[in-house]
Amino acid sequence: ALVGVALPLFLVTMASQNLPGVAAQRASGYQTPVSASIAATGLASVVFAPFGGYAFNLAAITAAICMGREAHEDPARRYTASAMAGLFYIAIGLAGGAVVGLLTAFPRELIAAVAGLALLGTIAGGLSAALKDERHRDAAILTFLVTLSGLSLLGIGSAFWGVVAGAVSLLVQHFRAAPRQ
């Protein structure tokens, strides 16, 4: 179970949830301590795993929305959007069956389009920040494109492989730029 379930969940959570979560926080101007945040979510996952809460992480769509200007112009007041989202989560959880029934009545494409529109500001800010530094632009584009491709290899999704592709690109670029002796 450790290798078959826990390790893939760990890798997927780190690559497809925590890394985008940190990027969303940074794109919104928050300098959250990464190690402490990941340790806290990891501890919460360990504590709540026996009850079905096995993948606490930093990147929920609503969290990204609640960090942006759309939530409030004043960054110190954006917590109110998160609090309201939390109350909404509780209400949805209590009415889960009805909500799932309602959402399945809509076309999948419509749900994807609404989610995409909700994340437009976050995506634009993240891309702008990623492409700002010319030295890392190629790696950022490669990371984005591989992640967007939907590539799934060895049961691991495209977000992980996007990070791998970007890291390899940076290593190759660094190796090529290193002075030869």
- Name the domain count of the chain: 2
**pLDDT score for 84:** 92
Instruction: Give yes or no: residues 99 and 140 share one domain.
Output: no
Token digits of residue 16? 């497809």
**pLDDT score for 131:** 80
Instruction: Give yes or no: residues 42 and 102 share one domain.
Output: yes
Instruction: Give yes or no: residues 127 and 137 share one domain.
Output: no
The answer to whether the CB of 85 falls within 8 A of the CB of 66 is yes
**pLDDT score for 6:** 66
**pLDDT score for 5:** 61
Q: Could you tell me the residue range of the domain that residue 159 belongs to?
A: 133-181
Instruction: Give yes or no: residues 113 and 153 share one domain.
Output: no
- Tokens 């730029």 correspond to 177
Where the chain has pLDDT below 50, the residues are none
- pTM recorded for the entire structure: 0.51
Distant-in-sequence, close-in-space partners of 79: CB < 8 Å, separation ≥ 6? none
**pLDDT score for 13:** 75
pLDDT digits (tens, 9 = 90+) for 91-108: 988 988 898 888 889 998
Instruction: Give yes or no: residues 9 and 78 share one domain.
Output: yes
| Nearest CA-CA partner of 58 in 36, 90, 77 | 36
36 sits in the region (left: phi over 0; alpha: psi -120 to 50; else beta) called: alpha
